[in-house]
Chains A and B, each alone.
Chain A
């Protein structure tokens, strides 16, 4: 199949700004974007830089943005994302500096993974033989263990775009993998650490990492698991935990969300007044304040029963 690869070329040492170059390629039916790029490098332009190794979605080297979304180039079939003759835009991963062309500097990625202490820390004397763990307990973790450290999720994370201190999807999915491992002995210390600023509560639940992860790790869902574990373990003083609890309480009471009540419960009375006054006053003059007296739905008692039944 014929297609055009429009590739972002950039050598920070010699170029002031990036440029885009177009390369026509002709690929077999099941050709991948990586096949196309290697063909370009072999036959058209030997100066094109990219990373790859396994060519089978295992090593995690070839993440890049393809038509604006982070993907493994070796797992992306050209015929799946373009019709014959169409142009495909290929750029390096986002949220990281570019070393050259499609090669991104992953220092930030590795620093964050290291920061969550991605290794088992058992406490107490080691058993004489191996640790024994139930199948169920390990099965839960396999989703997170599937991570191949490709960086795609970090590339497209919308919080990292505005705040590079956020621990980010890959590291927090890794955090889940250890905090929920029955052999680990530092669960409480881990939860305390992960609930701090730049940790689990800073995720904006945008689903970007769930969408782009090539291995089904769904980092955001892992982050939500750590949030639940943290709240259950009693780390419920953070604004995020208070917000989640207040939200659930309000819906439990009336079946519906009441934004005024939510603000009061999340911030506390005085802080809510202070934080929201500017917003509230403007809303008042525009006749759009949420109703002050929130009425429950007629079947609210059934809803309350449902909450109680599920322990919330």
Chain B
């Protein structure tokens, strides 16, 4: 399985532990990644506030680069990158006349998007292309006794019509399936499909912090030892801002937040160092101890 790979900005910026963990897991499970090193930020929903056409052009440029490499699927490790790319792709594939207009903006660079690319996220690729059975076979350190709260992130759930849910109606249950294949137990709570609050942190911090506190406290109350997310922006908010959210809520939280590749990596034999587990704000020590994975 060969993919054009877009790691996103945050996996190398605000969450530098994600990129190496994702690469390690991809290699071990056999996802062959060709990194798009000249691709740009997808716009993360923010540049679209200035100009939707610009966002469409930036992402069409990335899609065209994947086509040039002869690859038909772009894989991301960020719910948000995936979501922006999927909506742009939806607009460009639905409407060839509009696609041509956007291609007009790319002509200077000698690029043109033909509309053949499919966008996926590592979480989807693992379930739909690798298959959970294969993943199960790679588990050497089953995460027995660990209760994990799934947290998806908005853009990997909504809006369903741009995200291929017609074809894959169970995409909003994949985290639970992966958690169980790894030998851990999935915790059910109402926050799992909601918003982490990241996009309003610079605008209305107290609302964002309230979201962080609500979801993490609810997950804890339902018994979660850790929370796992396929979105580095959710990770930034739920981990980095958790102490401040706890301050605002007036009670301690201390719920470790893992990136999906870290959780998988722990079960398939990587040590805490490779996975960057000690580069978090909320200590992941309880998880390391519970699972007994090597520290490295």
- The answer on a CB contact under 8 Å between A257 and B44 is yes
- The answer on a CB contact under 8 Å between B244 and A279 is yes
* Inter-chain contacts of B57 with A (CB < 8 A): 306, 310
Using an 8 Å CB-CB cutoff, how does the interface string of A279-312 with B read, 1 for contact, 0 for none? 1001100111011000001110011011101111
Smallest CB–CB gap between B275 and chain A, Å? 13
Q: Considering the complex, give the chain B residue whose CB is closest to the CB of A255.
A: B40
The reply to whether the CB of A205 lies closer than 8 angstroms to some CB of chain B is yes
Smallest CB–CB gap between A244 and chain B, Å? 4
The reply to whether the CB of A231 lies closer than 8 angstroms to some CB of chain B is yes
The reply to whether the CB of B253 lies closer than 8 angstroms to some CB of chain A is no
Q: Considering the complex, give the chain A residue whose CB is closest to the CB of B8.
A: A257
- The answer on a CB contact under 8 Å between B49 and A244 is yes
- The answer on a CB contact under 8 Å between B240 and A303 is no
The interface stretch among B112-120, B128-136, B154-162, B176-184 is B154-162
CA–CA, A161 and B43, complex, Å = 27
The reply to whether the CB of A2 lies closer than 8 angstroms to some CB of chain B is no
- The answer on a CB contact under 8 Å between B46 and A243 is yes
A310 with B240, Cβ < 8 A, contacts A204-B199, A207-B159 known: no
- The answer on a CB contact under 8 Å between A307 and B54 is yes
- The answer on a CB contact under 8 Å between A207 and B43 is no
The interface stretch among A5-13, A44-52, A170-178, A245-253 is A245-253
The reply to whether the CB of B208 lies closer than 8 angstroms to some CB of chain A is yes
Q: Considering the complex, give the chain A residue whose CB is closest to the CB of B154.
A: A206
The reply to whether the CB of B66 lies closer than 8 angstroms to some CB of chain A is no
The reply to whether the CB of B171 lies closer than 8 angstroms to some CB of chain A is no
The reply to whether the CB of B221 lies closer than 8 angstroms to some CB of chain A is no
- The answer on a CB contact under 8 Å between B200 and A306 is no
- The answer on a CB contact under 8 Å between B278 and A299 is no
Question: Which size class do A's interface residues fall under?
Answer: 35 or more
- The answer on a CB contact under 8 Å between A228 and B13 is no
Using an 8 Å CB-CB cutoff, how does the interface string of A207-220 with B read, 1 for contact, 0 for none? 11011000000100
A224 with B48, Cβ < 8 A, contacts A201-B203, A297-B38, A297-B40 known: yes
The reply to whether the CB of B207 lies closer than 8 angstroms to some CB of chain A is yes
The reply to whether the CB of A124 lies closer than 8 angstroms to some CB of chain B is no
The reply to whether the CB of B67 lies closer than 8 angstroms to some CB of chain A is no
Using an 8 Å CB-CB cutoff, how does the interface string of B219-246 with A read, 1 for contact, 0 for none? 0000000000000000000001101100
CA–CA, A251 and B16, complex, Å = 19
A257 with B9, Cβ < 8 A, contacts A206-B154, A228-B49 known: yes
CA–CA, A288 and B236, complex, Å = 11
CA–CA, A202 and B9, complex, Å = 24
CA–CA, A150 and B61, complex, Å = 40
- The answer on a CB contact under 8 Å between A158 and B195 is yes
* Inter-chain contacts of B204 with A (CB < 8 A): 163, 197, 201-202
* Inter-chain contacts of B51 with A (CB < 8 A): 228, 310-312
CA–CA, A291 and B15, complex, Å = 11
- The answer on a CB contact under 8 Å between A248 and B46 is yes
- The answer on a CB contact under 8 Å between B53 and A202 is no
- The answer on a CB contact under 8 Å between A299 and B9 is no
- The answer on a CB contact under 8 Å between A162 and B279 is no
The reply to whether the CB of A278 lies closer than 8 angstroms to some CB of chain B is yes
A162 with B155, Cβ < 8 A, contacts A224-B49, A231-B49, A312-B50 known: no
**Which of B16, B50, B159, B208 contacts A228, CB < 8 Å?**
B50
CA–CA, A166 and B193, complex, Å = 21
**Which of A158, A197, A243 contacts B211, CB < 8 Å?**
A158
* Inter-chain contacts of B197 with A (CB < 8 A): 162, 204
Within A89-105, the residues touching B (CB, 8 Å) are none
The reply to whether the CB of A239 lies closer than 8 angstroms to some CB of chain B is yes
* Inter-chain contacts of B208 with A (CB < 8 A): 204
Smallest CB–CB gap between B49 and chain A, Å? 4
CA–CA, A68 and B188, complex, Å = 13
- The answer on a CB contact under 8 Å between A244 and B46 is yes
The reply to whether the CB of B194 lies closer than 8 angstroms to some CB of chain A is yes
A-B complex: 4 closest residue pairs judged by Cβ atoms: A207-B158, A206-B195, A257-B9, A162-B210
Given contacts A202-B207, A310-B54, 7 further A-B contacts (CB under 8 A): A202-B200, A202-B204, A206-B158, A244-B46, A278-B244, A279-B241, A299-B38
Q: Which A residues form the contact surface with B (CB < 8 A)?
A: 68, 158-159, 161-163, 166, 197, 201-208, 210-211, 218, 224, 227-228, 231, 238-240, 243-245, 247-248, 251, 255-259, 263, 266-267, 278-279, 282-283, 286-288, 290-291, 297-299, 302-303, 305-307, 309-312
Q: Which B residues form the contact surface with A (CB < 8 A)?
A: 9-10, 12-17, 37-41, 43-54, 57-58, 61, 83, 105-106, 108-109, 154-155, 157-160, 190, 193-195, 197-200, 202-204, 207-208, 210-211, 214, 240-241, 243-244, 278-281
The 20 listed contacts between A and B (C-beta, < 8 Å) are A158-B194, A161-B211, A161-B214, A162-B214, A204-B200, A204-B208, A207-B158, A208-B154, A210-B159, A224-B49, A228-B49, A231-B49, A240-B203, A247-B46, A255-B40, A258-B9, A288-B15, A298-B38, A305-B109, A306-B106
